[in-house]
Structure 1
């Protein structure tokens, strides 16, 4: 087949919101035209269809550090981005009442210091802690200490030091972020069509989608369709019947209520997750308000009681009534089927406990660009995409299950269920390996890393029975002196950093070039 005739000439994105425009923006960068520059030489159109009559979920306001690489790849100006999305900085997540009532720990972005003899710094900390005289492992996490003191400054360039041994992400208004990326994409040639899809045409024989028809009669044809229609999964399930892996046995929360409230001081550079009797509550601080939500199991608490729990734990005056959401945790059996690729909530759902929603969108569209097909959508590309996304979803799934499974709580039926439930073999292996000798097994290098697993294992109170024998090869006295130097350097560095709110105010007051 002639490559010219087999090339993708039109990509149709079904659905707007964060997922739709996060797909459109990088595709516009690849196939679009620079504002004021020459026309697109590739000859591939990008059309996004969205309807004002169909709302978006819009609760994905907390992110992972991958959002920075995404923004940087688009060439976004940081100050402009933070102004227009009402963003704040995020150094990690504070967990309250997970593990047991009164428990409090932090999952910070970045490590706990440089590796020693090819072993994690935390592994060596475990050894010294057993011998006594060591502060909490969290005091060797720069991000955690910054969050504890409400400090922020971006990592400094230069050789490794306490001033750059951390990472960060953002909190932002998801609706404003979608609008920001819409302006970016449209300026680079993406065609936005307003309307509701009422019919889908497929090709006889192989079932490839050929066009969608809008309520006003317009017919929009395409070669590759990206389903960003959210929980409706209009194409991937409604047309392709891709199927769904239901994970509610392991993650029983199936409902959420979300409500913003007035902001309060201080403006904290972290997300807060507080466990309740039948789920947990998020708190996401933005410049103009605070986002809140209660994720819960409807089998263990009524919607009315869940609403009362949410509203009684706000730290500012509510701005409206809670908005109800329903979901089923799981993953499409095929995220890419024929010429339809599902990205965002249409591909699957994992509760936002570790802020993975937008990160999965980024990985989804990045993998699509890397494996970009021609009109045939050859099976080997489809299979590789599905393999990557399945592996990542399952790895994140296990990381989230870990929060529930390692609980010592028995104060409600919900927590007793979580303690006793069976778990995936992959996670059981990871827990058993850590319990035996403090080793962390990473099954997906594109997901959470070793230090994140250490944060959860130790934060939830799991202590290993034994230790890696290689750790004993390091002399304890100089090792302890090394940890003391790091501890002092971190404390001094954090003390010299500005207040988070003050740094943010100065940044958004600047103007991009």
Structure 2
């Protein structure tokens, strides 16, 4: 980062997951001699802390900031995650898994699922999930790490984690402070702007002191103290497309070995999450307040938890959260970048909140300002973050829009809603030819869209015609081989519970957790 120029003091405002991810990341990018980094947070201001599930890019982030997997899992009571199970999002009672990683490998340069679609039209019965090792392993309660050998079925796998977000922030704080980040525990009473260029000059603290900086990262959550209150950047409300605006979080006891996937169960006014940790289970209800009161939502969640298992004991009172789905009109303005909830929120359905933090940090490092105000790259950054959030928005909308919960007001409304043109195009490409390669794919790519579109949307009318060029008997044999390879590989895997036991052992056996 030799071009940092006039930026010599980076101020991070707010702690929590976003703040300490930012501190750990930039303390790795810069040495203390290159950049002074200060994080200011108040013990009086709580953090949201409901995001405990992640998606595979988190493994890369941990490597970048220098946190090995074993340390992270033991410090955060974490478990492994191979995907997300969606219950009742198609017809009530139906379930499918959105697995991480790929389905079978391309054949003759054509996407694997095109051959599966062709075979289904010829009467082939095997479900698509049988060709995803992550899916087969998740259902069996197994886990193993991805390999680099393309001949090994595990090369198609990917994984993420469930963890206690507050413990993850604590771990990253230790990492950041160990690299010289200074923490200031103060409440911010005001933001002072430069009278000449309108940039942030300093923060007014509750002890009467001021904290000056060159560039500021806003990690103040939904409030957006810097980007919104001080700099006046507005907010694009996406409630029209994603109307959920409330959530309740409730921890319960662990009553079984943690499963290696998140569960999202559709309910009358939204959906319920279940996130298994080593020491407890995270539960919650994301809902639309137009269709249910807060009290009723809490009653419904507690009733569902009680019905789930006699050992499912509530550990704390329900915690309520209010939000508006959408994003900042600009994620970066003047000498400020919004990271985390201050830049927007798209609800936790596909565990993307922590991903958007790390994506924002990586893009910020790649476009770090050459001076206090660097408008061209600030606009570029805002454009990149906007496109990422719009892609995630479309992915989330599809879950709601493709439901078949007929006769339930929320779900009827979502099924008949007007959707963005970008999603219409994706749905038409899938309907006509089974295509799930779309423009601007970054985080959610072909196998991700394929999982939810087959899981909820059913079979498309057509498939890639190039799949018809393969001899039918050859195609059937290759499908059989991939299916059997997934089944056999999963059978040989250790259980998820045994892997977690190995992780927590002081001197783990060889082969291990530094994935």
- State yes or no: 1:149 paired with 2:140: yes
Distance 2:142 2:467 in 1: 34
Distance 2:495 2:209 in 1: 53
Aligned 8 A contact 2:3 2:370 in 1: no
**Distance apart, 1:223 and its partner CA:** 0.5
How many equivalent residue pairs? 503
Aligned 8 A contact 2:391 2:441 in 1: no
Partner of 1:374: 370
Aligned 8 A contact 1:395 1:443 in 2: no
Partner of 1:37: none
For normalisation by structure 2, the TM-score amounts to 0.95
Per the alignment, do residues 128 and 274 of structure 1 end up closer, same or farther by CA in structure 2, a change over 3 Å counting? same
Partner of 1:474: 470
Distance 1:401 1:7 in 2: 42
Match of 1:167 among 158, 170, 180: 158
> What secondary structure does 1:354 align onto?
coil
Match of 1:317 among 305, 313, 316: 313
- State yes or no: 1:140 paired with 2:140: no
**Distance apart, 1:377 and its partner CA:** 2.9
Aligned 8 A contact 2:51 2:165 in 1: yes
Per the alignment, do residues 247 and 53 of structure 1 end up closer, same or farther by CA in structure 2, a change over 3 Å counting? same
Q: How does 1:52-201 map to 2 (within 5 A)?
A: 52-201=43-192
Runs of 4+ more than 6 Å apart:
none
Aligned 8 A contact 1:277 1:411 in 2: no
**Distance apart, 1:6 and its partner CA:** 4.5
CA deviations 1:170-217 (Å, max 9, x no partner) are: 000000000000000001000000011001110113210010011111
Partner of 2:215: 224
Unpaired stretches in structure 2, ≥5 consecutive residues: 509-513
Partner of 2:459: 463
> What secondary structure does 2:369 align onto?
coil
Aligned 8 A contact 2:50 2:165 in 1: yes
Distance 2:249 2:431 in 1: 37
More displaced stretch, 117-126 vs 385-394: 117-126
Aligned 8 A contact 2:223 2:342 in 1: yes
Distance 1:145 1:278 in 2: 31
- State yes or no: 1:293 paired with 2:293: no
CA deviations 1:471-508 (Å, max 9, x no partner) are: 21121110110110111111111101111011111112
Aligned 8 A contact 1:65 1:169 in 2: yes
Aligned 8 A contact 2:37 2:181 in 1: yes
Partner of 2:449: 453
Distance 1:459 1:6 in 2: 50
Q: How does 1:269-280 map to 2 (within 5 A)?
A: 269-280=260-271
**Distance apart, 1:511 and its partner CA:** 4.7
**Distance apart, 1:74 and its partner CA:** 1.9
CA deviations 1:404-462 (Å, max 9, x no partner) are: 00111123110111011100000011001111111124222322010010101100033
For normalisation by structure 1, the TM-score amounts to 0.96
Match of 2:196 among 183, 201, 205: 205
Partner of 1:30: 29
**Distance apart, 1:468 and its partner CA:** 2.1
